[in-house]
Amino acid sequence: MAETDTSNRSRRSERSRQAILTATRELISEVGYAKVSIEAIAARAGVGKQTIYRWWPSKGAVIFDSFLALSEGTDTDVTLPDTGDLRADLTLVMRATVAEFADPDFENPIRALNTEIINNPDLAEQYRRQLAHPVEEAKKARLRSAQQAGQLDADADLDLVLEVLYAPLFQRWLLRSGPLTPEYADSLVDTTLRAFAP
């Protein structure tokens, strides 16, 4: 009997957690980051504020987990395509990245998360450790393969290669200074490959 009670509580807790994460993403999309509050999230999710604070210490932490939840259930082993053709592989990845950044369902939570990261060093470290670092390592693994195949300068600083490839996209997105199109993604790949040609 006690086991059943524990199981029911666990299911209720997971339902509440998912409701909170969904409510957070919905509110960010609907009213923007600045107007989202713990009170509003609790009301939308149908839980008490104390339920949220039991699991998360701040609004930023809830936003971070709501963003992580978008990728729950997907393969956590991050790898990039490696067909042997670096240009084709990078073009595929950059076009997908540009499309993701232009998608409102992803853009609003990402903007909210970046606002929190700027102002919260602990959250910035958590983001770097849980999201950014694994993805960067996967990208570097693909670039190392290209170096070994003679498609990329063997002495290239891979951190710098990634910055040249991604930083202009991030700046354009952050400042809303231009369209995020497949053609723009292609131009970033072309520029990077010219800059670090063998």
Whether the per-residue pLDDT at 182 is higher than 80: the answer is yes
Q: Rounded to an integer, what distance in angstroms lies between the CA atom of residue 101 and that of residue 97?
A: 6
b/e per residue 12-39 (b: at least 16 CB within 10 A): eeeebbebbbebbbbbbeeeebeebebe
Q: Rounded to an integer, what distance in angstroms lies between the CA atom of residue 35 and that of residue 37?
A: 6
- pLDDT at res. 144: 96
pTM of full prediction above 0.85:
no
Whether the per-residue pLDDT at 134 is higher than 60: the answer is yes
Specify the higher pLDDT residue, 7 or 79.
Answer: 79
| 37 CB-near residues (< 8 Å, 6+ apart) | 59
Q: Convert the pLDDT of each residue in 49-108 to its tens digit.
A: 999 999 988 888 888 888 777 655 444 456 788 999 999 999 999 999 999 888 877 777
Whether the per-residue pLDDT at 34 is higher than 90: the answer is no
